[in-house]
Amino acid sequence: ASRSKVPFPERAARHSHPVAKRLFSIAEAKKSNLVISADLTDSKKLLSCADDLGPYIAVFKSHVDLVSDFDDSTIQGLKDLAAKHNFMIFEDRKLVDIGSTVQKQYHGGVMRISDWADIVNLSVLGGDGIVEALDETVTSPDFPYRDQRAFLILAEMTSKGSLAVGSYTEKCVELARKFPRSMMGFVATRALNEQKEEGDAASGGEEDFVVFTTGINMASKGDKLGQQYQTPASAVERGADFIIAGRGIYAAADPVEAAKRYQAAGWEAYVKRTQG
């Protein structure tokens, strides 16, 4: 059977990565595969979004470089709300530089991403080095959050004219296979892991990448700047495990009502896929 038909509790039990295990368990407990993309520009709005929508989401995705007053209290606020509502934090940093630079951008720096973000994404434009470097950081015996941090490779993009296609996307899959202790899956518009079957000897066992799909909106087909949308149902049918929605929720007249609707649509599509 295709891997995307396996229900979350089973994937949680069998997954080799502790962050993936936790993620699937949270999704199951909350009956939510929804990720809010909280692209808000000040801490107060960011934290009230996390508090208001916390009950309906599995993951809270931030872009803290666009928060004008980001500081330690923003970090503490996010951590407290993650504990209160049982969600994970995903910083949409899209790291993309040489290995040595991304290590410093990820661990330390003004944003201290490794201190609070369970999940971070990256682009492999620069080749293997970035993945090697981040893998080295989070698997080091000195890393304080060992087994509590994971990465997603940005393997495709939702924007018009994206160059992340074909052999570039294939290279992303290859790199994720090479670094299973840190690379948990992809941000992609579809499942990228169907070609390989369970128990493949080359990977030393089972492979189960987690697929996050963004560009989700139930009311719009896109924006004026090239963003292209699909619905929760179509994304999940194509293999999304988690659906990421931003403006469709936080810019709605009633964001809580919208979050509930996206949660229900995403979960219903997941149930249909795994039971159908």
> What are the binding residues for substrate?
39, 61, 158, 227, 246-247
Is residue 39 a contact point for ligand 6AU (CB under 6 A)?
Answer: yes
Q: Are 94 and 106 in contact (CB under 8 A)?
A: no
Please return the burial class of 221, using the count of CB atoms within 10 Å of its CB with bins 0-12, 13-18 and 19+.
exposed
**Does the footprint of ligand 6AU cover residue 187 (CB under 6 A)?**
yes
248 binds ligand 6AU (CB under 6 A): yes
Distances (CA, A) of 57 to 78, 97, 129, 207: 14, 31, 33, 25
Nearer to ligand 6AU, 92 or 241 (CB): 92
Q: Which of residues 123-162 bind ligand 6AU (CB under 6 A)?
A: 154, 157-158
Q: Does 230 bind ligand 6AU (CB under 6 A)?
A: no
Does residue 42 have an active-site annotation? no
The full DSSP string for 33-70 is -EEEEE--SSHHHHHHHHHHHGGG-SEEEE-GGG-TT-
The helix/strand count (H/E) of the chain reads as 11, 8
Minimum gap (Å) between residue 61 Cβ and ligand 6AU:
6
Catalytic status, residue 92: yes
* Nearest CA-CA partner of 192 in 7, 58, 4: 4
Catalytic (active site) residue 52:
no
Nearer to ligand 6AU, 171 or 247 (CB): 247
Q: Which is nearer to ligand 6AU, 10 or 170 (CB)?
A: 170
66-95 mask for ligand 6AU (x: CB under 6 A)? Answer: --------------------------x---
Which residue is catalytic, options 92, 118, 135, 208? 92
User: 146: closest CA among 124, 118, 123, 120?
Assistant: 118
241 lines the binding site for ligand 6AU (CB under 6 A): no
Measured CA to CA in angstroms, residue 47 lies from 51, 81, 149 at distances of 6, 8, 22
**51 lines the binding site for ligand 6AU (CB under 6 A):** no
By beta carbon distance, the residue nearest ligand 6AU is 246
Residues in contact with ligand 6AU by CB under 6 A are 37, 39, 63, 92, 121, 154, 157-158, 187, 214-215, 217, 227, 244-248
